[in-house]
Amino acid sequence: MSTLVNRSGRPDWAIVQDWDGYTAAEHAIWRTLFARQAELLRGRAAPEFLDGVARLGVAADGIPDFRRLNDVLGKSTGFRIVAVPGLVPDDVFFEHLAHRRFPSTCFIRTKEQLDYIEEPDVFHDIFGHVPLLVNPVFADYMEAYGKGGLAALKRGTLHQLSRLYWYTVEFGLIETKAGLRIYGSGIVSSKGESEYCLDHPAPNRLGFDLVRVMRTKYRIDAFQETYFVIRGFDELFQATLADFAPVYARLAALPELAPGTVLPEDRVLHRGTGGKRRGITGRPPPQ
């Protein structure tokens, strides 16, 4: 991650969203992104995600006012959105999550960036991440991730923990009675990957396993070569309850894995045909 400069003047990097400052053109870009994804995600996104969008009132009409979202969010899981200028240092990011604050960017991508933007913008953060924060189990997972991140920084194991975030919060799939559904923010905020992740034969779709995920490297500039599938958000939260010290000890004895790997012990829902495709809403490069 390039060196970040804190212009907020505050140690938590928080700024004011300045909702009145958005232009009609910026709201129009939100409307384009929202209309496209809302249409595409019906029948593709996890019911819990769609429920969160509805309950929060994240709507087509324009960039939401964080103050209004916080009214709903605060009453549901006690999470609160904190506006930040962009990517913040890892320790600041984890400190916010550990206290049920989600740091969201406020800027929106340009028309030219509709399909590809390197860093998270307000559409990725608010449409992609915030709806699931009304789900109590997922909110617990995000708080646990923040606490785990602060511990990982001290242990020097952030590169392994960030893979857990990448393959769940950003690019996770979930099994439902109606079939596989999307819950990862990096996917739901991307038109291309919302189609690719469920339908395309190229990527692997493997059952979630904590150590397996934390061994598996990822790339930020192409669609995923492997998606990990959880059976439910409880499975995800249960995985974080364990003390991570033994997990890190096991990881130290196991080789890292390339993104497209399939192991004999994997629960294979779909073995991919391989191949890499251009990327989508990225995130900071892997540690």
Interface contacts to Fe ion, rule CB under 5 A: 120, 185
Apex 115 CA angle, 107 and 230, nearest 5: 95
Query: Does 284 contact ligand HBI by CB under 6 A?
Result: yes
Q: Which of residues 124 and 251 has its CB atom nearest to Fe ion in the complex?
A: 124
Window 91 to 130, contacts with ligand HBI (CB under 6 A): 93, 103, 105, 120
Number of Cβ within a 10 Å radius of residue 89: 14
The least distance separating ligand HBI from the CB of residue 16, rounded to whole angstroms, comes to: 16
The least distance separating Fe ion from the CB of residue 243, rounded to whole angstroms, comes to: 26
Q: Which of residues 84 and 117 has its CB atom nearest to ligand HBI in the complex?
A: 84
The least distance separating ligand HBI from the CB of residue 69, rounded to whole angstroms, comes to: 16
Q: Which of 81, 88, 188, 230 binds ligand HBI (CB under 6 A)?
A: 88
Site track 133-172 with ligand HBI (rule: CB under 6 A), x = hit: -----------------------------x--x-------
Report CA torsion sign: 252, 253, 257, 261. negative
Instruction: Give phi and psi for 241, each to the nearest 5.
Output: -70, -30
245: left (phi over 0), alpha (psi -120 to 50) or beta: alpha
Instruction: Give phi and psi for 173, each to the nearest 5.
Output: -115, 155
Q: Which has the closest alpha carbon to 118: 256, 221, 240, 38?
A: 221
| Contacts of 246 by beta carbon, 8 Å cutoff, 6+ apart | none
Residue 172 near which of ligand HBI, Fe ion, none (CB within 5-8 Å, type-dependent)? none
> How many chain residues touch ligand HBI (CB under 6 A)?
12
The least distance separating Fe ion from the CB of residue 20, rounded to whole angstroms, comes to: 26
The least distance separating ligand HBI from the CB of residue 105, rounded to whole angstroms, comes to: 6
The least distance separating ligand HBI from the CB of residue 73, rounded to whole angstroms, comes to: 17
Residues recorded for the chain: 287
CA–CA separation, 278 and 287 (whole Å): 21
Q: Which of residues 207 and 284 has its CB atom nearest to ligand HBI in the complex?
A: 284
Q: Which has the closest alpha carbon to 227: 278, 184, 177, 277?
A: 184
Apex 97 CA angle, 93 and 101, nearest 5: 105
CA–CA separation, 237 and 254 (whole Å): 23
**Cβ atoms of 198 and 182 closer than 8 Å:** yes
The least distance separating Fe ion from the CB of residue 120, rounded to whole angstroms, comes to: 5
Q: Which has the closest alpha carbon to 94: 169, 152, 21?
A: 152
Residue 162 near which of Fe ion, ligand HBI, none (CB within 5-8 Å, type-dependent)? ligand HBI
Q: Which of 84, 132, 134, 236 binds ligand HBI (CB under 6 A)?
A: 84
Q: Which of 46, 53, 73, 87 binds ligand HBI (CB under 6 A)?
A: 87
Contact residues toward ligand HBI (CB under 6 A) are 84, 87-88, 90, 93, 103, 105, 120, 162, 165, 283-284
